[in-house]
Amino acid sequence: MIPKRKFDLSEDDFERFRKIIDQASGIFFDRSKWELLRLGLTDRAEATDAKSLSDYYEKITSAADGEDELRCLLDHLSVQETQFFRNLPQFDALRKYVIPEIARRKKNGHRSIRLWSAGCSTGQEPYSLAMAALDVLPDPGSWNIQILGTDLNQQALAIAEKGWYPEKRLIGIDRSHRENYFRPLDGGFVVTEPVRRMVHFSRHNMVNDPLPMSIFGTCDVVFCRNVIIYFTHNTAKYVIEHFFDIMNPGGYLFLGHSETLWKMSAKYSLVEMGDAFIYKKSLPRSIEGRRFIPDRRIREAPLPTSVHEDRRVKISRRDVTGVEELIHKQEEQFPSKNAGTVSEEPNVQKGRSFLELGEYDKACECLAEAVKQDGSNAELFFLQGLALEKANRPDDASESYRKAIYCDENYSIAYFHMASVLERSGRLKAAVREYRNAARSLRNDQSGRWGNYLDSYDMESVINLCEWKIENLASLEE
d(CA 56, CA 51) in angstroms, rounded, equals 7
- In this prediction, residue 245 has a pLDDT band, given cuts at 50, 70 and 90, of confident
Residue length of the chain: 478
**How would you classify the pairing of strands 199-203 and 247-255?**
unpaired
- Per-residue pLDDT, 271: 85
Asked which of 28-32, 159-163, 306-310 is least confident by mean pLDDT, the reply is 306-310
- Residue 268 and residue 244 in contact, taking contact as beta carbons nearer than 8 Å: yes
- In this prediction, residue 81 has a pLDDT band, given cuts at 50, 70 and 90, of low
- Residue 43 and residue 53 in contact, taking contact as beta carbons nearer than 8 Å: no
- In this prediction, residue 476 has a pLDDT band, given cuts at 50, 70 and 90, of low
d(CA 127, CA 169) in angstroms, rounded, equals 13
- In this prediction, residue 285 has a pLDDT band, given cuts at 50, 70 and 90, of very low
| Phi, psi (degrees; rounded to nearest 5) at 370 | -65, -40
- The whole-angstrom distance between residue 273's C-alpha and the CA centroid of its chain comes to 20
One-letter amino acid at 436 equals R
One-letter amino acid at 322 equals G
Walk across the sheet containing 182-185 and list its strands: 164-166, 188-191, 182-185
pLDDT, one tens digit per residue, over 408-420 is 888 888 898 888 8
Residue 136 CB contacts under 8 Å (≥ 6 apart), including other chains: 95, 96, 99, 100
393-404 average pLDDT score = 89
Asked which of 31-35, 62-66, 447-451 is least confident by mean pLDDT, the reply is 447-451
- In this prediction, residue 473 has a pLDDT band, given cuts at 50, 70 and 90, of low
d(CA 346, CA 219) in angstroms, rounded, equals 49
d(CA 161, CA 163) in angstroms, rounded, equals 5
- Residue 214 and residue 245 in contact, taking contact as beta carbons nearer than 8 Å: no
- Count the Cβ atoms, other than its own, within 10 Å of residue 353: 23
d(CA 183, CA 339) in angstroms, rounded, equals 69
Q: Which residues pair with 117 in a beta bridge?
A: 149, 223
Per the model's pLDDT, the better-predicted residue between 133 and 469 turns out to be 133
**319-333 as b/e: b if 16+ CB within 10 A:** eeeebeebbeebeee
- The whole-angstrom distance between residue 200's C-alpha and the CA centroid of its chain comes to 24
Return the closest-CA partner of residue 293 out of 116, 76, 464, 411.
Answer: 464
d(CA 437, CA 440) in angstroms, rounded, equals 5
pLDDT, one tens digit per residue, over 355-378 is 777 778 888 988 888 888 877 888
- Residue 112 and residue 144 in contact, taking contact as beta carbons nearer than 8 Å: yes
What is the pTM (predicted TM-score) of this model?
0.57
d(CA 56, CA 42) in angstroms, rounded, equals 9
- Per-residue pLDDT, 98: 93
pLDDT, one tens digit per residue, over 114-151 is 999 998 989 999 999 999 999 999 888 889 999 999 99
Considering Cα of 225, then 226, then 229, then 231, what sign does the dihedral take? negative
Number of H helices, E strands in the chain: 20, 11
- Residue 119 and residue 151 in contact, taking contact as beta carbons nearer than 8 Å: yes
pLDDT, one tens digit per residue, over 20-55 is 888 777 677 777 677 778 888 888 888 888 888 888
